Chains A and B, each alone.
Chain A
């Protein structure tokens, strides 16, 4: 096969993959905006990611408890020790491509970490941060 064609099709595939991520996150951000949010900010998202939150039982929880401070790193479940693949799209091409998965995990993990569901603003800020990783 002509190397040029091969390179061209590879490039197209890569672009399509990253486009898929962009589309999914953009779709979600659009949905969140409709619920009445301000502009989304990646540094606010990062601050939320890093924040250690005290809970009623005295425990401290954060996204970093399982995912580590760097979304590009492999994480571990803090109880079972199970390996968690990186959340950063740059390290893991499957991340941020499936709307249902994103909503499912944000639903669960916001409640576990914050003790309540994330607001549309918080979700948008978080995704804005994660997509840059």
Chain B
């Protein structure tokens, strides 16, 4: 009886140890295979990552001397999208096609446009530009520059689980391009998932 108990205990301990070791290697992926490269680290790891990169948001753009100009000229019809959500190549394509900006004419005189492009170049998604900037950049490397933040792999990785009824079918949201509808701190570059509030629905918890 005693030998059996000890054997059971040892077997249990070995089993637990195995599970623990396996868990450390376990890579969390969701149903469609989106894993760390899109979501970044989770939990404690995420906090460490964030601390290592300073405040980890898109807020360096806000303290840029040209931010006021960017906001004044580029948020008449939508929020001033944080520049770190797209790479410089996308912004360049955007500024080069202001006469047809998603169906609208948003032309600017050359001097103002150049100033804004310099700002966007400085603040665009790139290696080492902070948590979101780095991830947005990583997911666009090797791809043709898109003009739509919502078309970037990074964005889609974060939002692909959200049902249409909560966005397009939701009169208080309407479109994924209205970041501010669910992310109150969007313009400040704060997209922390714990502060997401989808109008008419409970807090998003994935």
Contacts and interface: CB of A to CB of B under 8 A. Distances in A.
Contacts, number: 31
Interface stretch (B32-40, B60-68, B84-92, B103-111): B103-111
> Which range holds the interface residue count of chain A?
10 to 19
Given A80-B78, A82-B78, A108-B107, 19 more contacts: A77-B77, A77-B78, A79-B77, A79-B102, A79-B104, A80-B175, A80-B178, A81-B174, A81-B178, A82-B76, A84-B76, A104-B109, A107-B105, A107-B107, A108-B105, A111-B99, A111-B105, A111-B107, A112-B104
Contacts of A77: 77-78
A77 B75 CA distance: 12
Contacts of B178: 80-81
A79 B178 CA distance: 11
> Which range holds the interface residue count of chain B?
10 to 19
A80 B75 CA distance: 11
Interface string A75-87: 0010111101000
A97 interface: no
Contacts of B108: 104
A77 B99 CA distance: 17
Nearest to B79: A82
